[in-house]
Amino acid sequence: MAFLRHVGKHGDRKVAVIFREVPGEPHMCLVTYTELLNQHIHDPMVQCIESDIGQSSENLADALNRTFTRDGRPILQVLHAEGQLKKVNTENIVMTPQPNTKIKLSELNKILDEMKQGEAAVKRMAELDSSHGLQDPADVARRMRGENLPPQLQENRQAPTKAQTAQGALGDNQIANNLRQQAQKMAAEAKGLMAESERLLKEAAQLDPVPLAKAVPALEINPVAKRRGRPAKVKVTA
């Protein structure tokens, strides 16, 4: 008989394990007692468990949310609405993937978690191996500092000096250069905004000519201070 996931027992009662772990409560799981289910839920659920989708799902809930009862409702939603989901301690659930195979769900969860960590470690080792196990000391220092430089600054980043590499951290010169590059970028963006502002003002003037100071008061430079009494006469020369 083939190996079958998501099936087990709680005491003498057969269960389908919907969630191996409850979020925030890894020692608890969610199950449904299959013998209590109506036929229009039970049969589609068993077919789902035995299907490739069910067997490839980490949690049966993922597959049941895409599987429907005979009257066209998602099985997972029906189980929830009818109160068929029960929270049980993983120590009390015995998984029976085969007739002669038994393992506590708590132990199975530990094994699966270790396998996940092992896969992540294998992947990381492969990445290090592809780069001959070497990392840019500047990258290491940046991560240790919690810095997240923009991609363009990472591309233009200067190679660390021997002294910086020996210290295992970025020097003041390196940090200063990065700040200068950021300032240059901001200045270029500011020039672009000013140019766009002038273009918009010219377009507005063609549509509705008004004095520049009235159109953009903020651009008025050295305005004549207001004085009490009559305004002073200003002599205009050609």
The reported pTM is 0.51
Q: Which amino acid is at 40?
A: H
Query: Which H or E run contains 118?
Result: helix 105-130
User: Which residue, among 65, 113, 107, has the nearest Cα to 89 in the 3D structure?
Assistant: 107
- CA dist., res. 18 & res. 77, Å (int): 12
Strand duo 93-98 + 101-104: pairing: antiparallel
**CA pair distance 192, 214, nearest whole angstrom:** 23
3-class secondary structure, 100: coil
pLDDT tens digits in sequence order for the chain, 238 residues long: 567 899 999 999 999 999 999 999 999 999 999 999 999 999 999 999 999 999 999 999 999 999 999 989 999 999 999 999 999 999 999 998 887 888 999 998 998 888 878 776 666 666 655 654 444 555 555 554 555 545 544 544 455 555 444 444 455 677 777 778 778 878 877 887 787 788 778 877 787 776 655 555 554 444 444 445 555 554 545 4
Whether residue 5 contacts residue 44, with contact meaning beta carbons closer than 8 Å, is answered with: no
Amino acid found at 45: M
Structure-block tokens of residue 19: 């969630």
In the three-class reduction of DSSP (H, G, I as helix; E, B as strand; rest coil), residue 54 is classed as helix
Tell me the two tokens of residue 206. 């063609």
